[in-house]
Amino acid sequence: MADQSSGSTPVDKEDNWGYDLYPERRGEAAQAKWWQVALFGAGQVKTEKISCERNVYNCFQNSPLVKLMYSALKASGCEIDLRRHIACEVCDVKVSGGYDPRLNQIVICQNVARSKGMVQGILTHEMIHMFDACRHELSFKDLNHLACTEIRAANLTHCSFLSAMTQGDASFFRIQKQHAECVKNKALGSVLAVRPDVTKEEALAVIDKVFLKCYNDLEPIGRRIRRNSADMIRAYQERTNYGYE
């Protein structure tokens, strides 16, 4: 809370949920670790940023999922400008990326997400949050809204039926249950990461409350992506069925 006696405007602490994980969001300059300076020189942070930005650009040019999300956002009136809406920054190592609803900006953690594949996953995940904020007037202060968008992002980008299949019984119903549990666990971790005021029990309760509706909402990708499949390409090819160019 800002010092009100100085005449400054107080800051709602709710607006800063999760910002401790993104120091540059708080105005702190990124500093290279001592071992980075010793091994690579003082320019390590700058080198990471350049590499991150190249990976982002590559994904927007070549990733079917990222291109699909870009088309969906554009069709919804929320076209992405790479210079304005995507930022590569140094973050807490507990996170690899995030969506800043105040600035409508996606953060890629340059010190964590170093591969094109990882950057693709983060971009797609966070672009789903951006899509939900654009299309559905998402409020991250509303725990129901937050849980729903985290369920959708985990469902569409992180958990796959193939990974569930390798965990044991390969029956359809068993795989389906394991996939749903993967989505719930991922959503739980994301909710707790940005809402320190919420207990695990409270988060689980709201996830269970909205799960079925949000789990079955596959917009705008239209399908759950299976690992090592052609689903990403198929989803991109089918984008015109939903009015996305």
Active site residues: 126
Polymer length of the chain? 245
> From CA 82, how far away is CA 95, in angstroms rounded?
21
Contact present, 223 and 234 (Cβ < 8 Å): yes
Contact present, 57 and 67 (Cβ < 8 Å): no
What does the DSSP assignment read for 202-238? HHHHHHHHHHHHHHT--TTT-SPPPTTSSHHHHHHHT
Q: CA 115 → CA 109, 121, 136, distances in Å?
A: 11, 10, 31
DSSP 166: T
